[in-house]
Amino acid sequence: MTNKIDPKLMRDLERFGLKDACKCAHCGNCTAMCHLSTPDNPFPRRFVRYIQLGQRDKILSSAEPWLCYYCGECSERCPRGADPGETMMVLRRYLTSAYDWTGFSRRFYTSESFELVAVAVVAGLVGLALWFFNTGHPNWEHADVNSLWPAASVEIADLVMAGILSFLLLSNSYRCVKFIMGDLLGKVPLRIYASQLKHLVIHGATQKRLGECKDRMPWYVHLLIMTGYATVFLMVVVLLNGLGSEGWKFQRGWPEYPLWNPIRLAGYYATFGIMYGTTYAILGRLKKSRPAYKNSHATDWMFLILLQATTVTGILIHVARLVDWPAGTYGLYAVHMMAAIPMLVLEVPFAKWAHLAYRPLALYLVEVKRQYHAEASAPEQTAVAVSPEQGRA
C-alpha cells in the first residue's frame, strides 16, 4: 500500500455519514478512554488523524475499525464533539463498500433513493415470481402454503439464492483479507493461518469482544438477534423441505405442528430473539438512548425495518395458519417473502449483515499478524539475549 494524501477523503466519507471529524484537536481523551488503545496505537485518535490528513490507503489496510464495538465512551468524553465512536462506524461503512467489488454497497450506503429503489425492485421481483410461479391450485379448504408454493420448489430457489449470496460475501471477504494483509498475504505460512482459526470461530459465534464492554446490554441484544436469525435461516433456507422428510417443514403445511414440537419451539425462540432485539434497537434509536443510537444512518433504519417486517409478517402467517384462514395465509406469505428476500439479498453481501463476517475476519487477521511478527522477531530477541562472549563460549 502506498501512503498518498487524498484531499477528497473527508468529502468522500461525508457521503457515508461523517460529520464531525474535523473538530478533533487531538487532546487524546478518546485514546485514554478506549480499551483498544495501546502505547504504540493511539486508538481511535489515529484514525481521526488519518481522515484529516487524507490517508485513504492507511484506512483501507487497517483492521482496527472492526475491533471497535461502538461502546461510545470515547464520544461521551470528547470535549470537542468530534464523535470518534461514530467516526469508527462511518469507517466500517466505508470499508464495507471498499471490499465490495460490485460497487453496489457504495451506492447503497451513499444514496437513500438508490437504497429505497433497490428494496422496492427486489420486493417487486419477488412478488412477480410468486404470482407467476405457483401451482395454480391453492387449497381453499385449509391454510396449506405447500399447495400453492411447494416446499421442494421454494427450497431450490432458496439454495440458489444462498449460493449467489455466499459467493458475493466470500469474494468480498477475500478482498477484505487482501486489504488487511497487504504484502504479508503470501508471506505468512499457512500453518499460522490455521493455528489462529479458533479466533475466527470464537469471535464469529460469540462476538465476545462486545461482551467485554462495560455495558453488556448491546451484547445480549446482538446475541438474541444473531441466534434468532441463524435459527430461522437454518429452518427456512437449509431445512425448508425437511431434507426430504415430513418432520421438518417450518410454517408450511396443514395442520400446524403440536405446541411442543421442536420446530415450533425453535420458531418461537427465533421470533422472540429478533423481535426483542430489533424493538430494543428501534426504540433506542428513536430515544437516542446510547451513543451508538444517536446517529442513525438510513441503512440502519432500513435494516431494522426489513428485519422487523419479516418477523411481524412471519407471526401473522403463524396466526392465520392457526385459525386456518387460507386466503390470509397466502397473502401474508407473499408479503413476508417480499420483505425477507430484499433483507437477505441486499443486507448479507452489501451492508449490515456483512459486518458479521468482516468483524471476526478482521479480529482473526490481527491474531495472524501478531503471531507472524512474534515468530519473525523471536530469533532476533534470542540473538540480543545471548551476549557476544556467551556466543563465543
Which residues does residue 114 pair with via DSSP β-bridges, in sequence order? none
Pick the closer one to ligand SF4 by CB: 64 or 115: 64
Dist. CA 305–CA 341, nearest whole Å: 13
Dist. CA 132–CA 150, nearest whole Å: 14
Pick the closer one to ligand SF4 by CB: 34 or 320: 34
Pick the closer one to ligand SF4 by CB: 210 or 337: 210
Which three cell numbers, joined as nine digits, stand for 219? 451484547
Dist. CA 282–CA 166, nearest whole Å: 28
The CB-of-202 to ligand SF4 minimum distance in angstroms stands at 19
DSSP 8-state secondary structure symbol assigned to residue 263: H
Pick the closer one to ligand SF4 by CB: 35 or 175: 35
Supply φ then ψ for residue 61, to 5 degrees.
-90, 5
Contact 21, 94 (CB under 8 A): no
Q: Of how many residues is the chain composed?
A: 393
Q: Which residues contact 168 (CB under 8 A, 6 or more apart)?
A: 102, 348, 349, 350
Pick the closer one to ligand SF4 by CB: 83 or 100: 83
The CB-of-58 to ligand SF4 minimum distance in angstroms stands at 16
The CB-of-90 to ligand SF4 minimum distance in angstroms stands at 12
Dist. CA 55–CA 151, nearest whole Å: 51
Dist. CA 124–CA 129, nearest whole Å: 9
The CB-of-366 to ligand SF4 minimum distance in angstroms stands at 14
- Chain centroid to CA 224: how far? 14
Pick the closer one to ligand SF4 by CB: 28 or 247: 28
Contact 337, 126 (CB under 8 A): yes
Q: How does 119-147 read in b/e, with b if 16+ C-beta sit within 10 Å? A: beebbeebeebbeeebeeebbeeebbbbb
Pick the closer one to ligand SF4 by CB: 86 or 347: 86
The CB-of-31 to ligand SF4 minimum distance in angstroms stands at 7
Contact residues for ligand SF4 (CB under 6 A)? 24-30, 33-34, 36, 44-45, 48, 68-74, 78, 80, 82, 84-85, 88
Contact 336, 314 (CB under 8 A): yes
The CB-of-213 to ligand SF4 minimum distance in angstroms stands at 7
The CB-of-314 to ligand SF4 minimum distance in angstroms stands at 33
Pick the closer one to ligand SF4 by CB: 213 or 305: 213
The CB-of-197 to ligand SF4 minimum distance in angstroms stands at 25
The residue among 87, 148, 52 whose CA lies nearest residue 297 is 87
